[in-house]
Amino acid sequence: MIKPLSLLALAAVIFGIGTNYYLRRIPDMPKLDFERWWGNGDKPNREDKTIRPFKIIFNDTMIEDLKNRLRNRRPYTQPLEGIQSEYGMNTIYLDKMLQYWLDKYNFEERANLLNRYPHYKTKIQGLDIHYMRVKPEEKDKKVLPILLLHGWPSSSKEFDKIIPMLTTPRTEYDFVFEVIAVDLPGFGFSEGTNKPGLNPVQIGIVMRNLMKRLGYDKFYIQAGDWGSQTASHMCTIFPDEILGFHTNMPLSGRKISNLKYLVGSMFPSLMVESKHRHRMYPLKDFFMYLVRESGYFHLQATKPDTIGAAVTDTPAGMAAYIFEKIGICANRKQLDTQHGGLENIEIDDLLDTATIMWANACITTSMRIYAEAFAWPETSIIQDIPTKVPTAAINFLHEVLYQPDWILRDKFVNLVHSTTLDFGGHFAAMQTPKELADDVFESVNEFIKFNTNNDKKL
C-alpha cells in the first residue's frame, strides 16, 4: 500500500514537472498578415508608395488657440501642507511650466531645431508614417542603418539629441550609423488607425515594412518603452532581418521569466548581485511602486478613450497628465520635490513633447496602444517565443523594471552585451543621450562580431 506521504511527494513531483513544461513550452508562431490594411475603408487596388518630404510647422492658428486655452485655465487646487509631488503633479510647479509654455517657449525656434534633420512621410499599410532619415557625411566608414523606436507619451523628437551622436564617426569604430527615427502609428506626426487591433506586434510589421520601403532588408534597432516591445516582436517574427537589437528597457515577458522573478524573492542573494539587488527585491517595495504608479497604465489599458476625452481639449490638463508620468520615470526618488523628477529633462524638451502631442491631437490614439497590447492573444504568444537575434541591454537606474541577464536570456538567447548604470531613467535619449549613444556603438560592435561568427551579415 502506498503511504499518503509518498502520494503527496509523487503529486508534487508531477506538478513540478508539469509546471516546468508549461512555463518553458515555446508556443507556435501565430499566423500574421504582413499586409494588413490599417487605413480608412478597404484596401485599394493600387497603393500610394510615394515618399514625401515633410516639414514640421507649428502654425499661428494652433499656437494662438493653445495660448488662449492656457490663459483661460482655471486656478488649480494647491498641494496639501507638507506635500510636494507625492499626490501627483504639483500644481505650483505646473503653473510655472505652463507660464513658460505661454510666454517663453519659442514655437518657431523649436520647430526649426527639429527641422535641421530631413523629415519624410510615406503610407505603410494605409497609414501615413512620419520619420526622420539622417545620413552621415562620412565616406570612409561602413554606414549601418539603425531604426529608433520611442514609446509613450513620446515621438521621434525624443531622439533629436542622440541623432548627431550616432551619425558622427568615432575613431575607434570602422562604422557609423544612418538613422531612421520613426513616429509610431498614432503618435507624433504619424497617422493613427480607425480599426481595432493595432498592437505592438502589428506595429512591428508596419515598421519592418517601412524599412523595406526605404530599401533595407537588414538593419539594427534601438528602442525603449513600447518601442522596445515592438522591436522585441520584430526580432521574434523577422529574426533574419534584424542584425541586432539594443534596448534601454530590457524585458523578458516569458512565463518562465515571471516565475523566476517571483521565486528569486525567496533567495535574493542567489539571484542577483548585491549592488543591484535593491532594483528587484524585496518584492514588497516593487509591488508598492506598481500600486502607486500604475493607475494610468490600467486606465489606458482598459478605457483609453475616457481619459483621452478628458484631456483632449485642455493643453494644461494634457501636460499635467503626461508630465507627471515623465517625471516619475526620470527619477522615482524625487517625489519629495516640486518637480517630481521633471528637472532631469530640459523644459524645452518636455514642452516639445507636449506641443507635438497637442498640435496633432494624438493623446487618445497614442494611449490606445496600451489597450491593444492586452486585447489580442498574438502579443502574449509572440512574447513567449525566444529570439536568437543578438541583443544588448542597458539598464538605467530609474527604469520601470530591472531584470538581470539570466532572466533576460529566457527571451533574448544571444544577449551579447549588458550595461547597468547607477543613474539615469526611462527617457534615456533625452535624459542621458551620450551614455546611450556610447552603449549603442559598443553593442553594435559586439553584434558585428556575433554575426560574422554566425555568417549573418548586412
Catalytic positions, written as ranges:
225, 370, 426
HEC per residue, 204-240: HHHHHHHHHHCCCCCEEEEECHHHHHHHHHHHHHCCC
* Nearest in space to 222 (alpha carbons), one of 71, 403, 26, 393: 393
Q: Match 516569458 to its residue by C-alpha cell.
A: 254
Distance CA 354, CA 333 (A): 24
CA 367, 370, 233, 391 torsion: positive or negative? Answer: positive
Any residues with CB less than 8 A from the CB of 435 and at least 6 apart, and which? 394, 421, 424, 428
Q: In the numeric block, which cell numbers belong to residue 456?
A: 549573418
* d(C-alpha 254, C-alpha 260), whole Å: 10
Contact in structure between 348 and 284 (CB atoms under 8 Å): no
First and final C-alpha spacing in the chain: 66
Relative to beta strand 142-149, strand 219-223 is: parallel
What are the C-alpha distances in Å from 117 to residues 55, 130, 147?
10, 13, 15
In whole angstroms, give the CA distance from residue 164 to residue 384: 36
